[in-house]
Amino acid sequence: MKKTGIIGVGKLGLCFALNLERAGYEVYGVDVSEQYVNLLNKKKLNSPEPGVNELLAESTSFFVSVDMQSLFTEGLTDIFIMVATPSLADGTYNHAQVEKVTDELISLGKRKDTIHLYIGCTTMPGYCDSLAAKMQPYNYTVSYNPEFIAQGSVIRNQQYPDQVLIGEANEEAGNRLVSIYTNMVSNNPVICRMDRISAEIAKLATNCFLTTKISFANSIGDLAIKSGADYEKILAAVGADSRIGSKYLNYGFGFGGPCFPRDNRALDVFAKQQHYPLLISEATDKVNKNHLDFQFQEYLEKYKPDEPIYFDHVSYKKGSVIIEDSQQLALAVKLARVGRKVIIDDRKEVKEEVEKIYPGLFGFL
């Protein structure tokens, strides 16, 4: 049986581990929390992510430990690193967790056989090249292999990806990644192979294009409302053009969540570092904020001062439990803070988190 290691079996890494195990791999995971590791090994974790509990219950070749040394079992030469890279105040990514785990790998000494590391978390362009230089003396290669997933459909997104993005250390590492994905996926995705920094830019650029498309649709919708036109028919006509397409071209709340806003900002920061300001990223971010202000005014006019305003969800995406950069929640907060009665209906975890952050501000169904 083929063996694979995963450092960081949180929301993303756990789904990837279970999909690999389902595809016939013996998967060795490492995480920092002993309590969390025990829940996984005893199959007692209760995850809100669809499909995770079922795949975990069915797994027979998924083993998790807090000990990095457990990865160095005979025949295991492929390790995915899927730890968090949160955004810093300046818009760049914090690579501290990647540094911590790679420093620990180095502390275990030079490897006799070459170990291929695949960075699955989002990084600033150029970071993986510097990491590769750091790891090379210890017989590690470093490739970049980010995921294109959405919370609430991670398992399926990994099984049916549109593309597999590979910033390969060398041809051998790239070939190994292609083989792993060929075994794991249930469709025939486009395989995009390139150097590391190109892949890092491609990851950010993909999400930035989507934010641009969402912002465009919302700004056209706002314009249609202001002029008395039909935004649904306008956007349907625009999306009917095969050069544009209808995906992500709907009017609604602005973009939010754990990926789109920060990828857009990170690409903007990187562009400025290269002395090439990416005006489209700046504009997209500004349009998203302007759209929130527009919706705020629309809600004030649409609802009478004593009329309750209902939100059927305030997570960034319906069905998710994530409220990070949620435009729905931002709108609800703005309305409640000017005295409007706002009622929220969402998953229990979301309502509890919102009440903890904004005690007494909302009513809940």
List pLDDT tens digits, range 63-120: 999 999 999 999 999 999 999 999 999 999 999 999 999 999 999 999 999 999 999 9
Residue 136 lies in a domain: yes
Residue 111 lies in a domain: yes
pLDDT tens for residues 186-215? 999 999 999 999 999 999 999 999 999 999
157 and 82 fall within a common domain: yes
pLDDT at 319: 84
Residue 297 lies in a domain: yes
What mean pLDDT is predicted for residues 294-321?
A: 95
Strand partners, 311: 344
Closest CA to 112 of 138, 145, 143, 150: 138
Distances (CA, A) of 298 to 295, 310, 347: 5, 14, 26
- CA pair distance 158, 185, nearest whole angstrom: 7
161 and 270 fall within a common domain: no
Show the beta-strand stretches assigned E in 282-340: 309-311
Domain count, the chain: 2
173 and 239 fall within a common domain: no
262 and 359 fall within a common domain: yes
What mean pLDDT is predicted for residues 230-245?
A: 98
Q: In the chain, what percentage of residues exceed pLDDT 90?
A: 97
339 and 215 fall within a common domain: yes
Lowest-pLDDT choice from 25-34, 146-155, 203-212: 146-155
Lowest-pLDDT choice from 215-219, 254-258, 329-333: 254-258
* CATH code at position 238: 3.40.50.720
pLDDT at 143: 98
pLDDT at 1: 78
Domain boundary among 161, 194, 227: 194
216 and 343 fall within a common domain: yes
pLDDT value at 33 more than 90: yes
| Residue span of the structural domain in which 106 resides | 3-194
pLDDT at 150: 87
Domain boundary among 171, 194, 217: 194
170 and 319 fall within a common domain: no
pLDDT value at 152 more than 90: no
The rounded mean pLDDT for the chain is 96
Q: In the chain, what percentage of residues exceed pLDDT 70?
A: 100
305 and 221 fall within a common domain: yes
224 and 179 fall within a common domain: no
- CA pair distance 91, 258, nearest whole angstrom: 13
36 and 182 fall within a common domain: yes
What mean pLDDT is predicted for residues 324-348?
A: 97
What H or E segment, with its residue span, contains residue 96?
helix 96-107
